[in-house]
Amino acid sequence: MPSDDGQRLDRVRWQCRRGMLELDLLLQRYVDSYWAALDETGRDDLDRLLARPDPLLLDWLHRHSVPRDPRLRELVDIIAHGEKDSCNTTVPR
């Protein structure tokens, strides 16, 4: 029987399949790179982000608008740039 964490990862991977290839690639790259390092709060933030509609996510990732929530704004920055700022070595929540 898969662990709760494994089931959650499977669900998140499924939610990253958005129907827009660009979003699929950006979101999946983030999950592949950061999932293991995320704490519960970071995973909850990702869940909240993935609950948003595709057009809004695309606007955020293309910088046409930004999330009001500072935690989602930070997450969008990381996803859009593919990595944390090279001067900041901390891993996202």
The answer to whether residue 22 is domain-embedded is yes
Query: What span, in angstroms and rounded, lies between the C-alpha atoms of 37 and 47?
Result: 15
What's the rounded mean pLDDT across residues 51-60? Answer: 97
**Domain count across the chain:** 1
Q: How far is CA 27 from CA 13, 34, 45, 51, 91, in A?
A: 9, 11, 13, 13, 17
The answer to whether residue 29 is domain-embedded is yes
The answer to whether residue 88 is domain-embedded is no
The answer to whether residue 92 is domain-embedded is no
The answer to whether residue 87 is domain-embedded is no
**pLDDT per residue over 12-53, tens digit each?**
999 999 989 999 999 999 999 999 999 999 999 999 999 999
Evaluate if residue 84 carries a pLDDT over 60: no
Q: How far is CA 14 from CA 30, 37, 64, 85, 91, in A?
A: 14, 19, 26, 28, 23
The boundaries of the domain holding residue 11 are: 4-81
